[in-house]
Amino acid sequence: MSSVPSSPKILIVEDDPSILYGLKHNLSYEGFEVMTARDGEEGLKLALERTPDVVILDVMLPGRNGFEVLKELRAKSQTGVVMLSAKGAEQDKVLGLDLGADDYVAKPFGLPELLARVKAVLRRRSGDNAEKRDIRFGGVTVRTDAQVVERDGSHVELTPQEYRLLLYFIEREGRALSRDSILDGAWGQSYAGTTRTVDNFVRNLRVKLEEDPEEPRHFLTVRGFGYRFVR
């Protein structure tokens, strides 16, 4: 089987520090590798040099505004772009989409909505490069070509980190995995979380994918050690 894919890279270009660091914290927790910039010039430079998977791009920026950054970025790169702006005028949304943005989110926004839109952009742009195979266990189907998970024929919404953890377990089917090894392998050795994080995310997978989360058949606890996944 293939190795677990690396975390998607997200670049946030936003001059409001509270929004910038709030997004950085929450997206990092969800498993993204996050870069930040606070003006258009720096954002464009990082977007071209670091090749993020998605750029979250504010419109109102010091120096070059978001539309100017998007226009130059599109001349050189096809990376995913989600525009972020307090402006609600229809013409601003139309302009952003016409310049090549994949999506447009108006402030104030909810984090779940922004996450869903970023994930949709990632799915659309990564589908051609993903290994095309379906993985099935119980009533669950994992369609790796589209990064879609279904249970009994219905779509299941997983966060990026939940999906990454799911693939980590699948690639190591039948093996007893310690919490520390899961944390290092599915989050990365640089992640500063604790093994409690693993417990919380395994609980989420059980709730979303097990027929009975209290009596799991697939995400099994290895007492005093960690977890084991079985189909």
CATH number for the domain spanning 147: value is 1.10.10.10
Give the end-to-end CA distance of the chain in Å, rounded to a whole number. 15
Among the candidates 75, 97, 126, a domain finishes at 126
Mark whether 117 and 165 lie in a shared domain: no
Q: Are residues 165 and 111 in the same domain?
A: no
Query: Dihedral through CA 95, CA 100, CA 102, CA 106, nearest 10?
Result: -20
Residues 140 and 216 reside in one and the same domain = yes
With respect to residue 200, please indicate whether it lies within any of the assigned structural domains.
yes
CA 56 to chain centre: 12
**Per-residue pLDDT, 132:** 52
- What pLDDT is recorded for position 161? 84
- The pLDDT assigned to 169 comes to 93
Gap between the Cα atoms of 173 and 177, Å rounded = 10
For residue 204, give its domain range. 134-229
Same domain, 140 and 118: no
Say yes or no: 117 and 140 in one domain.
no
- Predicted confidence at residue 87, as pLDDT, reads 63
The answer on 16 and 119 residing in a single domain is: yes
Q: Are residues 18 and 91 in the same domain?
A: yes
Amino acid type, 132: K
Going across the sheet that includes 154-156, the strands are 134-137, 140-143, 148-151, 154-156
Q: Is 53 within the bounds of a domain?
A: yes
pLDDT score recorded for residue 106: 84
Q: Is residue 149 domain-resident?
A: yes
Q: Which two tokens stand for residue 201?
A: 């995310």
Q: Tell the burial category of 130 from Cβ atoms under 10 Å away from its Cβ (0-12, 13-18, 19+).
A: middle
Helical spans, DSSP H, in the chain: 17-29, 40-50, 66-76, 90-98, 111-126, 160-171, 179-187, 195-209
Residue 1 domain-assigned?
no
Q: Are 218 and 137 in contact (CB under 8 A)?
A: yes
Task: Give the pLDDT of the chain (231 residues) as one tens digit per residue.
Answer: 444 445 789 999 999 999 999 999 999 888 888 999 999 999 999 998 888 999 999 998 998 999 999 988 888 887 889 998 876 666 777 788 778 888 888 888 888 889 888 888 887 766 544 445 688 998 999 987 777 899 998 999 988 888 889 988 998 888 889 998 898 888 775 566 788 899 999 999 999 999 999 999 999 999 999 999 998
| Domain match, 15 and 115 both | yes
CATH classification at residue 64 = 3.40.50.2300
Amino acid 43: pLDDT: 94
Q: What pLDDT is recorded for position 129? A: 45
Rounded CA gap, 106 and 218, in Å? 40
**In this structure, are 15 and 118 located in the same domain?**
yes
Residues 82 and 52 in one domain: yes
pTM as predicted: 0.56
Residues 200 and 152 grouped into a single domain: yes
